[in-house]
Amino acid sequence: MSEPIAETVYFRDGNVLITSGRADFAGRLYATRHINSVEQVPKPARRARWIALAVFGVLLFIVGISNGNAGDSGVGFICGSVGGAAILAGIGLALSERTRYIVRITTSSGRVDALESARREDIAAIVAAVTRAITAPQS
């Protein structure tokens, strides 16, 4: 009976484990011998929807002001208030969007986005660990 081969652990943190034999990304398991390459890919923040909300708020606010000046203060107040809230929400949410980073691996089956995080340092550490695992000499 042969002894089991011990795996070298290159990275272990939370739900990610990178060893000489496998890469486990939050339950998605890949054999390191099947990984051809790994890279860190930035995923830009998507702010367009929040900017559109703010623009809609500006338009609604203008309608509110014009209705208030036309003597219909009830509709003008509601449109102005909702428009102002939409402006603040749109700007606030647009500013809170952050670039996210992806661990992208390439296997014989194609490219896979294995993991995504807003923390660039975490993704860089995982990419470095996978690189060490796939380039290490196999015993």
- Residue 19 lies inside a defined structural domain of this protein: yes
Residue type, 123: I
pLDDT of residue 65: 84
Residue 78 has pLDDT above 60, yes or no: yes
Judgement on whether residues 73 and 109 belong to the same structural domain of the protein = no
Judgement on whether residues 106 and 39 belong to the same structural domain of the protein = yes
- Residue 1 lies inside a defined structural domain of this protein: no
Residue 83 has pLDDT above 80, yes or no: yes
Judgement on whether residues 60 and 23 belong to the same structural domain of the protein = no
Question: How many domains are there within the chain?
Answer: 2
Residue 50 has pLDDT above 50, yes or no: yes
CA 107, CA 112: separation in Å to the nearest integer?
A: 8
- Residue 16 lies inside a defined structural domain of this protein: yes
Judgement on whether residues 29 and 63 belong to the same structural domain of the protein = no
Average pLDDT for 35-61: 93
Question: What residues make up the domain containing 29?
Answer: 9-44+101-135
Query: Is-contact 112 10, C-beta < 8 A?
Result: no
- Dihedral sign (CA 18, 43, 51, 88): positive
Average pLDDT for 112-131: 94
Global confidence as pTM: 0.70
